[in-house]
Amino acid sequence: MAKDPVCGMEVNEQQAASQGLTSNYQGRTYSFCSSDCKRQFDQNPQQYVGQQTT
């Protein structure tokens, strides 16, 4: 399971990928619970990953 960085929900990565609900940013793949979360992330990814050091 992956964590949706926008809303914090647990997301099944394979299911998200099959629905196109993933985004690549800085070499990492992020999975989302919905197209709304993906859209929010795509508009401002730094807001959601900026606090991670990895």
Would you tell me which residues interact with Zn ion (CB under 5 A)? 4, 6-7, 9, 33, 37
Whole-number minimum distance, CB 25 to Zn ion, in Å? 15
- Considering beta carbons, is residue 6 or 48 the nearer one to Zn ion? 6
- Considering beta carbons, is residue 33 or 48 the nearer one to Zn ion? 33
Question: What is the C-alpha R_g of the chain?
Answer: 10
Closest by CA to 25, choosing from 42, 47, 2, 7, is 42
Whole-number minimum distance, CB 54 to Zn ion, in Å? 21
Longest dimension (CA), the chain: 28
The size of the chain, in residues, is 54
